[in-house]
Chain A
Amino acid sequence: MAKPKVGYSRRSLLKAGGAAVAATAFPAPMLWAQDTKNIVLRQFGTGVSNLNDVANKVKEDLGFTLEMTALDSDSVTQRAATQPDSFDIADIEYWICKKVWPTGNLQAMDTSKIANYDKIVGIFRSGKLTPESVIAQGTAPHTVGFVDGPGGTSFADSETGWMTLIPTIYNADTLGIRPDLIGRPIESWTELLNPEFKGKASILDISSIGIMDMAMVCEAMGEVAYADKGNMTREEIDKTIAIFTEAKKAGQFRAFWKTFDESVNLMASGEVVIQSMWSPAITAVKSRGIECVYQPLKEGYRSWGGGIGLSSSLSGMELDAAYEYINWYLSGWVGGYLMRQGYYSAVPETSKEFMTENEWGYWFEGKEATDVITSPTGDKLAAAGDVRDGGSFYERMGHVACWNAVMDENQYMVRKWNEFIAA
């Protein structure tokens, strides 16, 4: 691949007396500080990890500017697929990657340039959390994580040294509940359609994720048996949607939500007492002083993972800067920041250094908090003695039933979803 000329080569810079360049901890090329100041990398992604604090820290630690744009999942997919020149770094989910990779708008990354590659959690490499783990249904990250080479267009089924996305953030999702308004234990996904919560339930109106939550419910009810919830047949889709359409007509749902804020408001205002939810939304409700639990359910979690992909138009100094950014991302600070919100970092062991022992124990090991747990922005999330919903990392990520996915019958599913919304 021919790189456009960027003024002068790195070699000539070194000759000119860039001794400081040698002081790098990473195998990735270090850049000359004066130049990096002018580099601007444009990143876009869903709200979860597009945080201004990260951009500020990048400026402070690495010197270059990271411009963040936060969009919803649909818009992210749309932009990654149709506007390759509008971004340098795409912070997307693995199922979006499956959709977007064939457009050729992203370039594969050389794992030999990633310092902490060997420490990345097994889920993103072999697919197994521990050697004994069973791989869950759906678009498991490792199935779309690798391609054969720099120009590869089809996914490889094992580690090849060329990664499509560098994993950054992931979590296991379940239903959020208001224990103060429900007043009894909730143990199964079936409760979402329990008539007891008529007019007080909600589900998210993002078809690709919503259908998975529906499938978890229908499977738990014993109404539909799926071969693979992440890749349903038309018949399975019809049955699933029919069950939910009936529930909708019976007035089971108060509303559907599409954005993070909507889910927080529905829960905090008491309009809804049980709904699909994302973990930081639970955190946001809790930080308003309202009881809210991310309820582990016996059927398992619906999991998702996100990662950073590089635009295929990225080259030269900007590409080097992007690698530097990725290495920095995995080096711990961001991981610690995200883990203190309830997500997991791709390289948990580096994040440990950026968390207190109490935080690490609470968020990762599932131990009782020994002191107050606060969010990165300082809101109180848990008191001493509290235990994280669902327990430790291995307890939670080990019970993933399904990964967010994009199906072969996606277009058909979307049409049925539209019918469901209009019903």
Chain B
Amino acid sequence: MTRNRHLLGWLEAAPLAVILLGFLIAPIVMIVIVSFWGATEFSIYPDFQFENYAFLFSSPVTYKVFGATFKYAFITWAFTLSIGFTVAYFLAFHIRSQTVQIALFLVCTIPFWTSNIIRMISWIPFLGRNGIANQTLISWGVIDEPLEWLLYSDFSVILAFVHLYTLFMVVPIFNTMMRIDKSLLEAARDNGASGLQTLLHVILPLTKPGIMIGTIFVVTLVMGDFITVRFMSGSQRANVGRLISNDIGLLQYPSASATAVVLLCTVLIMIAILLRFVNIRKEL
């Protein structure tokens, strides 16, 4: 009987294990292997060399580009967190009726009905030199000359990131906020806590797991992105994703793999650090 139970357990775990093995572990192992291979102009050949990593770590471009990637990730994180937290707070604590709550939550998801590339590109004519933003500001008399930095700059890259990824912050935070026992808030008030004190000492600690999940989403999405940076900076800025995509375009798979491995390790380390702060599993 016990043996059957064991067998059943293994069988139940098998489909997921097979999927993870085939679609997650195997490709990563492959990438790690290829990162030690050599490449010529048009082909790659099996080898075991550290040249790809040596070049990567010796090139100042690598550090600059990783720096830019961290910068994008951090700024985007700060904005998506503050916007996401505010929106979630409003939805969870200010809207009393559950119907309205659900309706407003669905409203938040409307932008996701179109592809994120389209949402991103639609910023370009808006922010351009002769775009709606500049024309409006000029007609209001706020500025005399079109603002050049609106488009093809760090500003436009981060704007697009924030626009694209804020919902990934809203959803998990909203979810944890909804599970906060309302009597805790009453207790805080009964004990004389101000609104701000309740927010800082009751709501914030209790929503940490949601914030953490949102943070993981946003950070990994931004760090792995290449297309947003390419389009919104007019190809003038680079992040790690673009480095990889350039290498792939030029058939330098081993060097692309090496960069990918370093990026993967960096992101894993960051997530490991984040998880030290909050036990997500407790809350799921």
User: Is the Cβ of A418 less than 8 Å from the Cβ of B236?
Assistant: no
Chain B nearest CB from A7 CB (Å) reads 36
Q: In the docked arrangement, what's the CA distance between A100 and B40, Å?
A: 12
B interface, by DSSP: helix, strand, loop or mixed? loop
Interface size, chain A (Cβ < 8 Å): 35
8 A Cβ contacts from B20-69 to A: 41-43, 59-61, 64-65, 68
Tell me whether A186 is interfacial, beta carbon within 8 Å: no
Contact B41 A75, beta carbon cutoff 8 Å: no
The chain B residue sitting closest to A416, CB to CB, is B61
Beta-carbon contact of B236 and A78 below 8 Å:
no
Q: Is the CB of A255 within 8 A of B152?
A: yes
Q: Judging by beta carbons under 8 Å apart, are B129 and A410 in contact?
A: no
Partner of A103, one of B43, B59, B152, B235: B43
Name the CB-closest residue of B to A105. B42
A406 to B151, CA, bound (A): 33
Contact present for A254 and B243 (CB under 8 Å) = no
A270–B130 contact, CB under 8 A? yes
Please determine whether B42 and A103 come into contact, CB atoms closer than 8 angstroms.
yes
| Given A271-B128, A419-B61, A253 and B249 contact (CB-CB distance below 8 Å) | no
Q: Is the CB of B41 within 8 A of A422?
A: no
Closest Cβ–Cβ distance, residue A404 to chain B (whole Å) = 15
Q: Chain B: interface residue count, which band?
A: 20 to 34
B251 interface residue, CB < 8 Å from A?
yes
Most central of B148, B237, B252 by chain A CB within 10 Å: B148
| C-alpha gap A99/B61 in the complex (Å) | 26
Cα–Cα distance between A345 and B82 once the two chains are bound (Å): 59
**Are A102 and B42 within 8 A (Cβ)?**
yes
Q: Does B208 contact A (CB under 8 A)?
A: no
Interface residues of A (CB under 8 A from B): 74-75, 77-78, 81-82, 99-100, 102-103, 199, 202, 205, 207, 248, 253-258, 265-266, 269-271, 406, 410-411, 414-415, 418-419, 421-422
Known: A78-B251, A258-B230, A414-B246. 10 other contacts (CB 8 A): A74-B250, A103-B43, A205-B235, A269-B130, A406-B41, A410-B41, A411-B41, A415-B59, A422-B68, A422-B237
Q: List 19 A-B contacts (CB under 8 A).
A: A75-B249, A77-B42, A78-B249, A78-B251, A82-B251, A102-B42, A199-B148, A254-B152, A255-B233, A258-B235, A265-B124, A266-B234, A269-B131, A270-B129, A414-B246, A418-B238, A419-B59, A421-B236, A421-B242
